[in-house]
Each structure stands twice: as C-alpha cells, then as structure tokens.
Amino acid sequence: MSSKSISSEELAEMLAEYRRDYETRLQSRPNIEVQQARQLIQQARGLIRRSGIGDALTVLLEEVKYWRAT
C-alpha cells in the first residue's frame, strides 16, 4: 500500500477549488423565495402602473414640494 502525501499548499488549493465549485453550484440553483419575491414585486409594479397611483403621487409631490415644513 502506497500513500501519496499531500503538501499543505496542495491541500489549500484543493479546498479552495472545492469551495469555488460549491459556491457555483449554490448560485446555479433556483431560489424559490427569491423568485416569489420577484413575482410579488412585479405584481405590485403592475398594479401601480395600471391604477395610476404613481402618476397621482408624482403630481401631488410637484404640488407640495415648495410648501413650508412647519
């Protein structure tokens, strides 16, 4: 039985490569919570566009921007 000894530099490089591979695999997985959050934000943006709330707030802010804050 022969066993090859691994230097600390080789071990460090192997561990770094394993970490990079693991991180890549994690990033490539779909995150269900993130996808649901994105869908919710898209729905909210659509609602704001369709309802006219965004335009109304823009007009309102233009009307009150010079009011004194007392």
pLDDT tens string 5-28: 888 888 899 999 999 999 888 887
Backbone angles phi, psi at 56, to 5 degrees: -65, -40
Q: Cα(46)–Cα(57) distance, rounded to whole angstroms?
A: 16
Annotated domain spans of the chain: 8-64
Is 59 within 8 Å of 52 (Cβ atoms)? no
Average pLDDT of the chain is 87
Q: What pLDDT was estimated at residue 30?
A: 81
Going by C-alpha positions, the residue among 29, 11, 9 that lies closest to residue 19 is 11
**Mean predicted confidence (pLDDT) in 39-67:** 90
Tell me the pTM: 0.45
